[in-house]
Structure 1
Amino acid sequence: MTLPRRSRLTSASQFSQVFRRPVVSADGCFKVLARVNESSCSRLGLAVSRKVDPRAVQRNRLKRIIRESFRRHYTTGPDPQPADFVVLPRRAAVTISNQILREHLERHWARIDRRLG
C-alpha cells in the first residue's frame, strides 16, 4: 500500500518549511524534524542519502519501514495536530533489525506529538 500523495511532502519549498525552526527528535538511528502545517493531514518527507548506505536495497528498506510506521501512526484516524515531518536516517540504522527501527520511530512520533501538542 502506497502513501497517498496528500500525505507526502513533494516539493523543495515544503521541505524548506520544515527545516525552518523545526521541532527535533533525534537518537542514534533517526533524526526527525517536524513542524505544524495548515493542511488537514500530516505529511511525510524522506531524505535518505548515499552516505547512510551506498546500497539502494538498504536505503529502500529504511524508506519502507519509515513510511509504514508513519502510515500506522498518522493516517489511521483523525489527526488532531497535522504536521509536516522530515525523517533523516543515520548510518547506524542500516545495521539494526526492522522491529527495533519501528520501536525507535514510535518513540519519535510520541515525543514529537508531545512537543507539538
Structure 2
Amino acid sequence: MLTPEHYQKVFQQAHSAGSPHLTIIARANNLSHPRLGLAVPKKQIKTAVGRNRFKRICRESFRLHQNQLANKDFVVIAKKSAQDLSNEELFNLLGKLWQRLSRPSRG
C-alpha cells in the first residue's frame, strides 16, 4: 500500500489479530491479491536497524504466506516489545497471525 488513503481505509471497518508484540489489521480489498502495509513508529522501535529488520521480516513472511491469504489489505503495527524478539520468533509469530486472519470471518 502506498498512500495514506489506503491506510485510512484499512483502519475503518477492519478486523485484527494481535499479540503483545505486534498487531495486524485487515480489511477486504477489491483487488485480486493481498497487499501489505507496515507501521513501525520510532517511538516503538528506536533504532533504524531495528525498524528495518522488523520490516524486512514482515515482508518476507507476507511473501511466503500471500498465496494462502485472502484478498485483503493488511497493516502490521509494531509494538515496543517487538524489538526484543529474535528473527525466528518474529517470523513464527507472524505465521500464526497470518493463519488467524486467513480464516473466514464469523460475522
* TM-score where L is the length of structure 1: 0.85
Corresponding position of 2:84: 95
Instruction: Map residues 31-50 of structure 1 onto 2, 5 A cutoff.
Output: 31-50=23-42
Could you tell me whether the CA contact under 8 Å between 1:23 and 1:115 is conserved in 2? no
Name the count of aligned residue pairs: 106
- 1:23 partner letter: H
Corresponding position of 1:29: 21
Q: Does the C-alpha gap of structure 1 residues 100 and 29 become closer, same or farther in structure 2, counting only changes over 3 Å?
A: same
Q: Distance in 2 between matches of 1:55 and 1:69?
A: 21
Q: Distance in 2 between matches of 1:116 and 1:55?
A: 36
Gap regions ≥5 residues in structure 2: none
Identical positions, percent: 37
* TM-score where L is the length of structure 2: 0.93
**Once superposed, which parts of structure 1, at least 4 consecutive aligned residues long, lie more than 2 Å away?**
none
Instruction: Map residues 76-115 of structure 1 onto 2, 5 A cutoff.
Output: 77=67, 81-115=70-104
Q: What is the RMSD computed on CA atoms of the aligned residues?
A: 1.5
